Amino acid sequence: MRITEVEAIVLRQAGGLDETIADGSQDALLVRIHTDSGVVGYGEVDSLPSVVKAIIDAPRSHKYASGLGALLIGQDPLEPAVLRDRLYTGSLYYGRRGAVIHAISGLEIALWDIAGKAAGKPIHALLGGAHHTRIRAYASTLMPETPAEARAVTAAQREGGFSAVKLGYGPLGRDGDLDVALVAAARDGAGEDCDLIIDVGLAWRSAREAINRVRRMEPYRPYWIEEPFMPDELGKYAALARAVDTPIAAGEQEATTLDFQQLLDAGVEILQPDVTRAGGIVECGRIAELARVSGRRCVLHAWSTGIIKAATLHVLAAMPEAELFEYCVQTTELNQRLVTEAFPLLDGKVAVPTGPGLGVEIDEDVIKACRV
C-alpha cells in the first residue's frame, strides 16, 4: 500500500466566525490521506487552519525543508511511527515545535486511521490494547460573563449527566472579585457532588495575584486550575504550584515530551497534551507515561470535532491510568456534525470507539458545506 494524495482541507462554519471568543470549534483543519488501495485516513489539527494547510501543501526545498505532504507521497502508510520521524526530520529548518508539530500530529492521526482500517482493528488495539472501554467525561465549555449564567451552565451540564464540568476563558482574569464570584456561582450550580474545573485561559498576570485568587477559590473546591499563565512563564507556574493546595494543570500549547518535561520541572501536577498538537497519538502516549513515572497525572486536552474526540479516546484507552475525557459541548456545526457518531454519555462516561481505525464516519455533506 502506498500514499497517493495528501489533502489539507480548511473548514469553517457557515455564517462566519466570532473572532472575539476562544472557540476553536468554529473552524478546523481536516487531513485526508489517500492510498492506492482505496483506504482513506482522516486526521485533524486544532491550530490556525490556514497556516497548517500551507505547511502541508508547501513544495520541497531541500532535505531538511519540505512541505509535509510531499514527504508522504509514495510512502507506506502502515508505518506511522517511521513516517512521523520522516516528517520531523524533513521540517527541521522551519519546525521542531509550534504549527509544524501540530501539522505532523494531524497527519499521524490519519496514518493510524489507515493502519487500523487496513488491519480491521481500532487504533487502541494497535497500541497494545484497551485498558478501558469507557472513560469518565467532563463537560467543557466557555465561562459565561456573569455569575448567574455560570450557575445556570454548570447546573445544566450536571442535569445532562456529567459528573464534572470545566468552564474557561471568557471574563476570567479581568477582576479578582469577579473571578471568585464566577467560581462560587459555578459551584452552586454544579452541586457538591460534581467536580468543578476552572480554565483561567492564560489571563493572570503575576504569581502573587494567582496565589491570592486560587486561595480565595479553594473553599469552592476546584478540581484543578488550568493554564493561569502564558506557556513560557514557567517561574510563575512553579511559584503558584508551591503555594497552593489545588492542582495546577497546563500543556495544551506544548509539543513533544521535551516541552512537557519542563512543565513537570516547574511543578505542574496535570499534563494536558492535545493529540492534534503535541505530536500525535504515539507522542501523547509517551507524555502520559512521562507523567505516570513522575507521579503526576495526564488528562488530554480535546476541543473541536468528533475526530479529536475519537483520537483522544483511543489514547486514553491505551493508558493504564486514564482519569478524564474532555468532552467539548459547544453547539458549533463542526463539533456536532463533522462525524456521524454522537459519543453518547452513559452514567457519566463515554465509550471508546471499537470500529476500524478511528472508528468514526465522516459526514461528507458537512465537508462540502463548510469547505473553504
The pLDDT assigned to 15 comes to 85
DSSP string, 57-121: HPPEEETTEE-HHHHHTTS-TT-HHHHHHHHHHHTTTT-SSHHHHHHHHHHHHHHHHHHHHHHTS
- Amino acid, single-letter form, for residue 75: Q
Place of cell 524533513: 90
What number is the average pLDDT over the span 327-344? 95
As a whole number of angstroms, the distance between CA 276 and CA 89 comes to: 19
CATH code for the structural domain at 126-363: 3.20.20.120
In the chain, where are the structural domains located? Answer: 3-120, 126-363
What number is the average pLDDT over the span 56-71? 97
What number is the average pLDDT over the span 290-302? 98
The pLDDT assigned to 145 comes to 98
- Strand 325-328 and strand 345-346: the pairing is unpaired
The CA angle 333-335-341, to the nearest 5 degrees, is 105
Spatial neighbors of 233 by CB under 8 A, at least 6 apart, are none
* pLDDT 10s digits, 133-162: 999 999 999 999 999 999 999 999 999 999
| Superfamily the domain 3-120 falls into | Enolase-like, N-terminal domain (3.30.390.10)
The pLDDT assigned to 16 comes to 86
Residue 227 confidence (pLDDT) above 90: yes
* pLDDT 10s digits, 67-89: 999 999 999 999 999 999 999 99
Q: How confident is the model at residue 224 (pLDDT cuts 50, 70, 90)?
A: very high
The pLDDT assigned to 237 comes to 98
What number is the average pLDDT over the span 269-291? 98
Residue 279 confidence (pLDDT) above 90: yes
Q: What is the pTM of this model?
A: 0.97
With b for 16 or more beta-carbon neighbours within 10 A and e for fewer, the 284-304 pattern comes to: bbebbebbeeeebbbbbbbbb
